[in-house]
Amino acid sequence: MTVEMQTDQDIKKYAQQVDEPQWFTSMRLKAQQEVEDLTLPNFQKIQYHSWPINATRKLEVGDHRLTDEKLVTEQANIVQIGSKVIQKDLPQEFMDKGVIVCDWATALKKHSELVEKYFMTMATEPTENRLNAEHVAHLTSGLLIYVPKNVILKHPLTSYFFQDARQSRDYVHHLLLIADRGSEVSYLENTGTIGTKPCPANIIEEVIAEPDSHIKFASVDRLGENTTAYLNRRGYLKRNARIDWSMGMMNDGNIVGDFDSELVGEASHAEVKVVAISTGDQVQGIDTRVTNYGQHSLGNILQHGVILARSSLIFNGIGHIIHGARGAEAQQESRVLMLSTKARGDANPILLIDDNDVVAGHAASVGRVDEQKMYYLMSRGVDKKTAERLVIRGFLGPVLSALPSKEVRKVLADMIERKLVNGQKDE
């Protein structure tokens, strides 16, 4: 089947249909014009350039008939299928304190100035690479979250974003989360796929932490087996701001994860924790970077992953201390456990230090399951598959126990168990 490539005229037609602001349409057109001259981003040892990962299809207004009310849940504040919101149930606290939570189309219409100020102006840029430019040119789905100054939210915000793969279409989704000065928010995101059509997903999430703010960002990603995805999460931290990242990469398809935290402000702080499980024939490449610009900034990366069957998992951990970041600290640990002789794992630590009077360190390992632990468990009547799962839980335990939220620990633990059970069936 031949797919018609998007043109400038297609963008203008779509913009008129959805009544988006002119500044955003102009940004789309500029990105569209530069796509062909831009290259895909490069990540060490992650070979994805031949994947069907590019967004190319024409923009179209979503078909709202393709919704599924069964996805409505008491656990969620926001549920989206593609660009369609099928559930919105915010805590009263959010409304009382002036917190903004809205879908992308509403954000552009009602909060255009706020979006224009923050959208790809700090954490990343529209033409940083080809995937970014395709993202801007094809963007149809997303969510804006804005927490006003000095607002401390007691209730977490939980979202479910579903890629609609019941039809062959690009899934291009954007999250813009802004915590203004002195605010605090906890956010739990779940991503998934409905349907089995082969589709690319291009997801960019910008998390902006203004001075003295604190964001707890947790995610459980479960994109489908036939989805080829670029998942880019960017944090931009100003003075004395903090982001706690907790990410569970439980996807079934081929995924490039690009996770960056820019510690721009003095005493800014990022904690990045990643758990990943790869099964079947899938490839997950995860590139996690913390860049220290601010003096006395602190960035820690902790990544543990498990690979089964014929799958691959690549962890890149990059700590970069920029010249002038006196007193900065960058630490990282990446470990991969292989449960199959056919699996492939890599853990690549990279430290780039451009200043003195700093602290930096790394640890990395790739290895197989401890046979002595397996023998001990099986000698006491535990079958092999159950013993493997117990060893894996122990391996992932240091990351799970370090997660700041009990709720997130439980969600991830349940998902890990389901992923492992399904993964053992592939072996």
How many Cβ atoms from other residues are within 10 Å of residue 214's Cβ? 18
Mean pLDDT estimate for the chain: 92
Report d(CA 109, CA 106) in Å as an integer. Answer: 5
Amino acid at 411: V
Residues 205 and 232 sit within 8 Å (Cβ to Cβ): yes
Residues 25/8, Cβ–Cβ less than 8 Å: no
- Confidence check: pLDDT of 72 > 70: no
Q: What is the pLDDT of residue 205?
A: 98
Q: Count of alpha carbons within 13 Å of 257, Cβ hemisphere only? A: 28
Nearest of 355, 386, 360, 358 to residue 373 by alpha carbon: 386
DSSP E strands in 210-328: the ranges are: 214-222, 227-237, 242-249, 255-263, 269-278, 283-292, 298-307, 312-321
**Whose CA is closest to 411, among 222, 281, 257?**
222
pLDDT given for residue 410 in this prediction:
82
3-state SS class at 263: strand
What is the rounded distance in angstroms from the CA atom of residue 69 to the CA atom of residue 87? Answer: 9
Query: What would the pLDDT profile of 92-120 be if each residue is shown by its tens digit?
Result: 999 999 999 999 999 999 999 999 999 99
- The Cα 379–Cα 383 span in angstroms is 9
Q: If pLDDT is split at 50, 70 and 90, which confidence band does 306 have?
A: very high
| Residue 199, token pair as written in the block | 């589709």
| In the chain, where the domains are located | 8-265
Between 196 and 387, where is the model more confident?
196
> H or E segment at 420?
helix 406-425
Region 353-361: what's the mean pLDDT? 94
Does the pTM surpass 0.85? The reply is yes
